[in-house]
Amino acid sequence: MMPRVIEARVVTGPGKRNNVFIPRIPLIPSDMPFQFKRLQFTINLCFAMSINKAQGQTLKVVGVNLEFPCFSHGQLYVACSRVGSHDNLHVLAKDGNTVNLVYP
């Protein structure tokens, strides 16, 4: 992070592994009786946790990254069942498939 720009790396999508610069942009609200301008970075705060830590919790929105097989038996169910509504479950999987690892 620098005072006027954030250097970040893209982790998914067509620009994967590219470095990008996110500048501060001026925001002028139009729903106020007076005008003011503020400079703000256009980023959102996010959180991540392991599947083991998420077990037993109910979350509003869940994103599961399945680009690399990292699950042992039963963890896929735990990851997908933490969200209250299927509309709030977002799954990223290459070609729509993943591997559920089961060891004898």
| pLDDT at residue 18 in the model | 92
Query: How many CB atoms are located within 10 Å of the residue 43 CB?
Result: 9
Is the entire prediction scored with pTM above 0.75?
Answer: no
- Classify residue 79 as exposed, middle or buried by CB count within 10 Å of its CB (0-12, 13-18, 19+): buried
| pLDDT at residue 39 in the model | 85
pLDDT, tens digit, 9 for 90 and up, residues 73-94: 677 888 888 888 889 998 888 7
